[in-house]
Copies of this chain bind each other. A is one copy, B any other.
Amino acid sequence: MDVQQQDNEDLVKVAELVKEMKFAMLTTEEMDGTLRSRPMSTMQMDSEGHLWFFTAMSSPKVAEAEQHRQVNLSYARTDKQDYLSISGKVEVVHDKQKMQELWTPWIKPWFRDGLDDPDLVLLKVTITEAEYWDAPGSAMVRLYGL
């Protein structure tokens, strides 16, 4: 995973935590208001603070994200009791060059046909709020809020 140096100082700690935790539970909203989550592999946090993921265009989360663009990413390291909540807006991005930049063999289990898969797309999350907790009983720390 590629976590770049952040232009925005408020995102430095978020970047550190994302790097350490790597897998997020991405929560989206269904048509009827149901909230669903699923594990996702973070591919990159770019210098402007966007979080990038690979996914399948045909998967339900894409339709859900397109009708309710606000999503949550929760990161956890359960052995250390570190938790991070990121609220953000998601976009579906079709960009072959960006896909090439982000591709790594370790996500093959989810995308067997690799970059040739016509169903492969990118999700780009722009952070609007972030909060973290880093010890049992600790108060929440607001890291970032727009």
A residues within 8 Å of B by Cβ? 21, 23, 25, 27, 29, 33-39, 68, 70-72, 74, 76-79, 81, 83, 85, 87, 109-110, 128-129, 131, 133, 136-137, 140
- Residues in B neighbouring A136, C-beta threshold 8 A: 109
Query: With the chains together, A29 CA to B72 CA distance in Å?
Result: 10
- Can you pick out 22 interface pairs between chain A and chain B where the beta carbons lie within 8 Å of each other? A23-B81, A25-B25, A25-B83, A25-B85, A27-B27, A27-B37, A27-B74, A33-B68, A34-B128, A35-B71, A35-B72, A35-B87, A36-B72, A37-B72, A37-B85, A38-B83, A38-B85, A38-B131, A38-B133, A39-B76, A76-B76, A79-B79
In the complex with contacts A39-B133, A133-B39, A137-B110, A78-B34 CB distance below 8 A: no
